[in-house]
Amino acid sequence: MKEFSLIFHEEIPKYIQLSDYIKHKIDIGEIKDREKLPTIRALSEMLKVNNVTIVNAYKKLQADGYANMKIGSGTYARRKEVIRSFNKEYNKTFKLLSSGGLREYIDFTGETTSSSFFPVKDLQKVINEVFDRDGAEALLYQDVLGYEKLREEISKRFWKNKYSSEDILIVSGAQQGIDIAAKAILNVNDKVIVERPTYGGAISVFRWKRADILEVPIENDGIDIAILEKILKKQKIKFMYIMSYFQNPTGISYSEEKKKKLIALAEKYDFYILEDDYLSELIYDSNLVYNPLKSYDIYDRVIYIKSFSKIFMPGIRIGYVIIPEVFKDSMYLSKINTDISTSSLMQRALERYIVKGYWRKHIEYLNEKYRSRYTFIKQILERDFKGILEFKEPNGGLSFLLKFSEPEKFNSRKLFFILRDKGVLISPGALFFRKEQEGDKYFRIGFSQTNHEKIKEGLNIILKELSL
């Protein structure tokens, strides 16, 4: 049994001192992740303290995310996860590049629409209209739910008035939606299911909340239901996070069958689903029908998140959440504690933009432009990279996830640094897996920031490196 040696001080409760002592041993690796801690009786005898002190110390460790207490089995250490090394290096690359410097690269990492497609003139018109109509009031804080006319318009245009404006919360983009949902719902050690691989920003939020993150692999039509149900039968899950269309990074869209199954499982096993509706406006295959998971939500189990930023203008930072009744109060409070209110001017401008028909016209324009890039990049991949790279057609969105045909020969993290030095930026698979090495056989290339000329040039550089 591991020896603990601790001298207690009178001014601090003993259980707090013991908890801090064990935390330090876990942080430095002297106590390994998932290592069983001494029994209550054994540790009380070793330190000459009563059992209550040990019990309280272990409870505090669990509350702080440093231990799991399993009834009938004991208490097990849980090491706080550190930020992944490659993630830090990847982010460092973009911090070092100024906006001007980034333009010198062929950027396959972009996840938002190109600035060359921004509807600046139309947006300027509606902003002027807002100021003419509302004056200084356009700059005041809004109700915590957001500008009522925008919420009403969202309900009318996108949901055929299925939801009232009271069900809709305006947020500053999808990332904030994920953040306030996690703050409102999750406690330390709550179990969250995510797709494997998945969006790194969501994992970061759940880690920050000290949740216990469980991964379920994603198949060609959505998450693996068989593996998911095995977990649900054994463990109590608080909620799961999914991207129903053009999942980041795989590009997978969920089948109708799996959407219905997920709703049924959520009701059966009493958990909630955080649906991030990602880039579903960009569908290039007429056989792919748009029906988000929320549209099947007969049990009020889905927290639906939609961002206008990625598809419209990143700088406006607006999205919305449709909230199940049970979480309304807690998510309202979470939003207030985060930033009080999303930009009033931009909310009012977006409402006018949708009402006047500009939104529908802009989405049609983007589909035309990006379908052309999508088809162009797909043709090059099919023609020039056969036997080198494999991929599944996403049929929409702004990126392709590529897999090395011979993964033993390549490593996408190493490829990232090689290509960076040659003026090409890619997103290695390590960014989307909790364990970096699991992503080494994948990398993602996006086409939102690259025109046909840049796509051809960048893929030629990649092909040359992979053919050496």
Distances 401 to 108, 161, 210, 323, 449 between C-alpha atoms, Å:
11, 36, 29, 31, 16
As to burial, measured by CB atoms within 10 angstroms (0-12 exposed, 13-18 middle, 19+ buried), residue 383 is exposed
CA triple 290-292-293, angle to 5 deg: 145
Contact at 8 Å (CB) between 42 and 57? no
pLDDT of residue 401: 97
DSSP secondary structure string for all residues of 169-181 = EEESSHHHHHHHH
- Condensed to tens digits (0 to 9), the pLDDT of residues 300-322 reads 999 999 998 877 776 678 999 99
Top-level class of domain 139-356: alpha beta
Q: How many of the other CB atoms lie within 10 Å of CB of 99?
A: 6
pLDDT of residue 314: 67
Contact at 8 Å (CB) between 64 and 73? no
pLDDT of residue 82: 43
Q: How far apart are CA 381 and CA 463, in angstroms?
A: 10
Contacts of 118 (CB under 8 A, 6+ apart): 313
Distances 12 to 4, 5, 16, 80 between C-alpha atoms, Å:
18, 17, 7, 24
Q: How many of the other CB atoms lie within 10 Å of CB of 264?
A: 14
- In sequence order, the β-bridge partners of residue 428 are 443
3-class DSSP assignment, residue 33: coil
Q: At what angle do helices 452-466 and 358-384 cross, to 10 degrees?
A: 30
CATH code for 14-77?
A: 1.10.10.10
Q: How far apart are CA 321 and CA 159, in angstroms?
A: 13
As to burial, measured by CB atoms within 10 angstroms (0-12 exposed, 13-18 middle, 19+ buried), residue 140 is exposed
CATH fold of 85-110+360-466, please?
Aspartate Aminotransferase, domain 1 (3.90.1150)
pLDDT of residue 108: 95
- Could you say which residues of the chain have pLDDT below 50? 82-83
Q: What's the sign of the alpha-carbon dihedral 118, 121, 125, 128?
A: positive
Q: What's the sign of the alpha-carbon dihedral 152, 158, 160, 162?
A: negative
Q: How far apart are CA 434 and CA 194, in angstroms?
A: 10
Spacing of C-alpha 22 from chain mean position: 32
DSSP secondary structure string for all residues of 276-298 = EE-STT-B--TTS----GGGG-T
Q: At what angle do helices 344-355 and 120-134 cross, to 10 degrees?
A: 110
Tokens 């324009």 correspond to 365
Q: How far apart are CA 400 and CA 446, in angstroms?
A: 6
Structure tokens at 102: 């980034």
DSSP H or E run through 165: none
Q: How many residues does the chain have?
A: 468
Contact at 8 Å (CB) between 42 and 36? no
Domain residue ranges of the chain, discontinuous segments joined by +: 14-77, 85-110+360-466, 139-356
Q: How far apart are CA 434 and CA 207, in angstroms?
A: 11
